[in-house]
Amino acid sequence: MRIVNLTEETKKDLLDSLLKRSPNNYDTYTIAVNEIVNNVRTYGDKALYDYTLEFDKVDITSENLVVTEEEIAEACVTAEKSGIMQIIRKSAENIRIYHEKQRQYSWFDSKPDGSILGQKITALSKVGVYVPGGKAAYPSSVLMNIIPAKVAGVEQIIMTTPPGKDGKVNPGTLAAAHIAGCDKIYKAGGAQAIAALAFGTDTIPKVDKIVGPGNIFVALAKKAVFGFVSIDSIAGPSEILVLADETANPRYVAADLLSQAEHDEMASAILVTTSSELGKKVSEEVNRFAAELSRKEIIEKSLENYGYILVAENMEQAVDAVNEIASEHLEIMTKNPFDIMTKIKNAGAIFLGEYSSEPLGDYFAGPNHVLPTNGTAKFFSALSVDDFIKKSSIISYSREALAEVYKDIEKFAESEHLTAHANSVKVRFE
């Protein structure tokens, strides 16, 4: 990995490089995605079937679009035999327990003058969950997207995922959807699936919100339908940043950097450290590990493009850089990680100490692994129960309560030249 001294110039160069990975910069795909979205909106299921045959090489019809109970049962048996089913159950329970702590409830506050203010919490009616297929089969993402929606009380959760060339869906994906409590699963992928969820077809119902990861076509399709439905975010490639001092174990740091570099050639893996000696050792360990790992070519390309070891003069400079980069995953491996954590403002998920490696969050601990990328951790949060609810304000005033303030409201409205607003309160006291 390249080792550079952390300066304002190197930090700016790094940020410019990372921002190029944003889906917002891939305009060359936008025209194709918009065409797919518009065709599905216009022609519904027919366009969906045509695109599935073109892109996934599978002949899908109304007869086999929906995943059957038999297919789910078969997938669960396969998952049980492989030993993954029990692990999925344990992970699902951890995720459920964590997200139940995020639940919000309606509240009301009454005063002696007869006024009542409050907030009504309502779960979304229908949510669509997109799940990648083919080589990118991630049962963990199924759990992370469906369980918060279930905890929130969403009435119907619909999942779409592209079928393999055999017309089947990955067994681990189906088993996870079953455990998480998905209501309906459709064999549809890509931008065409996003469009079907956003506008509805004869077979696939229109949803209120679409969540879930996907490739650039999926990301741009979600961007295109935003406003017709809500979406979780437009996710970019995965990223990890490790903040470490001289006490960190270079072997652990290297292993954790590679855990994200293997995702994608555009994934970023960054070490920010106050120790140049640690930086050199981590670089050596990265080379040793990379030579042995199965996704060696992807890792090497990722590190070549977006792998950095930044050596800071002190911890204050290092923390400033961390907050500027605002990484999806942040590991803190310092002498006192909890103290450093209090100074962190921007990160999707924060992992403290040398035994809290990033895959713990990906699979098992419970917090959501759907996280903001490309610096959006400065203003976005992890997927949560909040993403699946709406909040309505409640206002109730008695005549006595309104009498105390109606003159103020009338004057305020008149100052904005909204005389009908003013009249609306004045008429009650004529």
Handedness of CA 246, 251, 256, 262 (dihedral sign): positive
Q: What's at 403, amino acid-wise?
A: A
Q: Which H or E run includes 305?
A: helix 296-306
Question: Which of 328, 331, 354, 410 is labelled catalytic?
Answer: 328
Closest to 176 in 3D by CA, of 59, 278, 285, 75: 75
C-alpha angle with apex 231: 94 to 328, nearest 5 degrees?
Answer: 55
* 159 strand-pairing partners: 129, 185
Q: Which two tokens stand for residue 162?
A: 């592209």
Phi-psi region of 44 (alpha: psi -120 to 50; beta: other; left: phi over 0): left
User: Is position 328 annotated as part of the catalytic site?
Assistant: yes
Q: At what angle do helices 69-82 and 84-100 cross, to 10 degrees?
A: 110
Distance CA 127, CA 229 (A): 10
User: What is the number of H-type helices and E-type strands within the chain?
Assistant: 17, 14
For residues 259 and 268, the answer to whether their CB atoms sit within 8 Å is no
Distance CA 201, CA 406 (A): 49
Q: Which H or E run includes 298?
A: helix 296-306
Q: Which two tokens stand for residue 195?
A: 């469009």
For residues 250 and 277, the answer to whether their CB atoms sit within 8 Å is no
Closest to 61 in 3D by CA, of 46, 71, 72: 46
Please report where in the chains the tokens 């790992």 appear, as a residue: 293
Q: Which two tokens stand for residue 382?
A: 């992890």
Question: Which of 99, 178, 329, 369 is labelled catalytic?
Answer: 329
Distance CA 358, CA 30 (A): 33
Q: Which two tokens stand for residue 388?
A: 């699946």
User: Is position 329 annotated as part of the catalytic site?
Assistant: yes
C-alpha dist (Å) from residue 189 to 35, 49, 192, 398: 16, 11, 6, 54
User: How many CA atoms lie within 13 Å of 359's alpha carbon, on the beta-carbon side?
Assistant: 11
Please report where in the chains the tokens 């049980």 appear, as a residue: 80
Distance CA 289, CA 133 (A): 28
> Catalytic site residues?
328-329
